[in-house]
Amino acid sequence: MNRIILGDNLEILKTLESESIDLIYLDPPFFSNRNYEVIWGDKGEIRSFQDRWEGGISQYIDWLRERVEQMHRVLKKSGSLFLHCDWHADAYIRVEILDKIFGMKNFRNGIIWKYFKPHSGKTHFPKDYDTIFFYTKSNKWTFNYREILVDYDEKAVQRYDKIDKDGKRYKIYNNRDGTTRVSYMKERGKPTSVLEIPFIQGISNERIGYPTQKPEALLERIIKCASNEGDLVLDPFVGGGTTVAVAEKLGRRWIGIDQSMIAVKVTEARLQKQMETFGDSRSASLHKYNYNKLRSEDAFEFENWIVRRFGGEPNAKKHGNRELDGNKDNIPIRVKRSDNVGRDVIDDFLSAVELADKNLYDKNVREKKPVGYIIAFSFSKNAREEAARLKRRENIIIELVDAETLVPMVMEPAEISAKMCELE
């Protein structure tokens, strides 16, 4: 089934069957300018941005590596992966991720996407290309050689200045011994790993307003050469939907993943425009987390993860932290990985918050701001009543946050599907 799935691609990749994908193209967020990376600005994208950037290049590589590990798992033995990146981190990505996961022997090509870009600097060459790393999972893979051939340039065409009755171009020349020879121009052009394809211009029919949108011609070249009709193509960073739109046109099956609701909406609109109507085989899915799995995760790892999902910063120190697991804008956070959390947790947390920073605590009480947050799977009636009483009678605001509001959950692994037109 062709699917666009909304959610964290790491968690979704873990649910996909091993060795089920024929081709993976990924264009992950580049390790570049912070403002440039936040494209849509919705909560899912901002959380991902914070996860990537918090610890610099090391954190970015760790963030990307665990996703590529899952991509390697779901890729068929005959499958290929094309990873699109730029100069900011391409060396790190190849050495620290791709060579280690796929193996150096399975590196096939470093493909160059060459485009025109204004260049005003006079101390270095222009940065007018991206790199696309091509790796396979084994020594057997799909490769349609004719699809990488590009048309000859105008000068080459002019040299073959004659056309026969079948419309084929040829030229006549004399050998050194004076013998006249006829040479035909090949039907297709020459192979090259430098793909000179321009950026999408503002007046292009392709343009959808997505800042990092890649041209369809680029994806056509990759999908045609590395897959066949009916193969399954995966784009785990679907963005503006170019990969799935091209895969649809070329008769491939596809899966697109993005944690930005806006990206999913944009891709939906693009596919709707491309096709008159949707068939029953296309769906948008909301990824839900397995409740039981979350409850059994390592406690500290879960605390860090859920604090980040909340938009906060986890505490690096895990012992002697006075019942505090992190903060959001300096406001303390406590995580309880349990259900039916009672009033006693509120009492303990309130004491810990006041001891941690009495001045901040008093200031937030005076200004009627939250003094802290407690995140749990659920809260008892007594806990909610106590939180309400503190707010009403003492101006002490403790916000009780249900984990379900941060990560949609089900009791058993499941996926909620709906037709694209019902995504509104």
Q: Is the pLDDT of residue 416 over 60?
A: no
Residue-wise pLDDT for 77-108, tens only, equals 999 999 999 888 999 999 999 999 999 999 99
Residue carrying structure tokens 């993860």: 305
Residues sharing a CB contact under 8 Å with residue 340, sequence separation 6 or more, in sequence order: 378, 379, 380
Residue-wise pLDDT for 200-213, tens only, equals 766 566 766 666 77
Q: Is the pLDDT of residue 172 over 80?
A: yes
Confidence band (pLDDT; 50, 70, 90) for 322?
low
- Alpha-carbon distance of 241 to 214, in angstroms, equals 9
Confidence band (pLDDT; 50, 70, 90) for 421?
very low
* CB 52 within 8 Å of CB 30: no
Per-residue pLDDT at 45:
62
Q: State how far Cα 154 lies from the chain centre.
A: 39
Per-residue pLDDT at 412:
47
Structure tokens at 288: 């839900």
- Alpha-carbon distance of 158 to 291, in angstroms, equals 67
Looking at residues 16-41, what average pLDDT do you find? 79
Looking at residues 41-47, what average pLDDT do you find? 61
